A = this chain, B = another copy of it.
């Protein structure tokens, strides 16, 4: 039985693949599993029907048989545990790949989201310019650390894993900031991920959904 995921019917990122359904689409493409998409209108995200899927009223959600999940990180981990290709077989390497999943979502993503949210909702406020260097430095600290860790390696820890998948989706949110220009190692890392056929299929699918709704 194919899984069903929910996604925006008209993503505010205008099809740039920055909404969190992209992570789940990409994971499903990496492991070669089909899926169907249930579009959720922006206005319906906080309605009781959608909150029954996710108490926080967010996308994506994941439904397969009688299993219903929310949280993109948990959904990607669930997919990675059930199908080969996103987690190493060796137990220690597998645990380290999962550590990178949490690092992407709990250590790197928060300052990235804080910076982008400030731009979205505070850029006309008198304090915006005064605060921005602090927010940028919080992101830069994580970029330096990540770049230092990566060094000459292709991926964060051995082969491509669900940790890389989540980390790349987090870093891509910085695309419009110019901050990645200072980290050629990370820019190349993102490009390497975007060159994967599974990424390309997932990106095309979410862009087609955006275009169809426009």
The residues of A with any CB-CB pair to B shorter than 8 Å are: 51, 55-58, 66-75, 77-78, 92, 95-96, 98-99, 101-103, 105-107, 109-110, 113-114, 121-122, 125-127, 130-131, 134, 142, 145-146, 148-149
Contact = CB atoms under 8 A, between A and B. Distances in A.
Nearest to A78: B95
B106 A145 contact: no
A92 B78 CA distance: 10
A117 B149 CA distance: 26
B56 A74 contact: no
Contacts of A96: 67-69
Contacts of A148: 55
B146 A55 contact: yes
B114 A69 contact: no
A81 to B, nearest CB: 8
Contacts of A107: 56, 58, 71
Contacts of A98: 74, 77-78
A125 B131 CA distance: 10
B92 A66 contact: yes
Contacts of A75: 99
A78 B92 CA distance: 10
Contacts of A114: 110, 114
A64 B76 CA distance: 26
Contacts of A70: 99, 103
A131 B125 CA distance: 10
Given A66-B92, A95-B78, A142-B56, A103 B71 contact: yes
A104 B95 CA distance: 20
Contact of A92 (B58, B67, B130, B146): B67
Given A110-B110, A125-B127, A71 B99 contact: yes
A87 to B, nearest CB: 12
A90 to B, nearest CB: 10
B145 A55 contact: yes
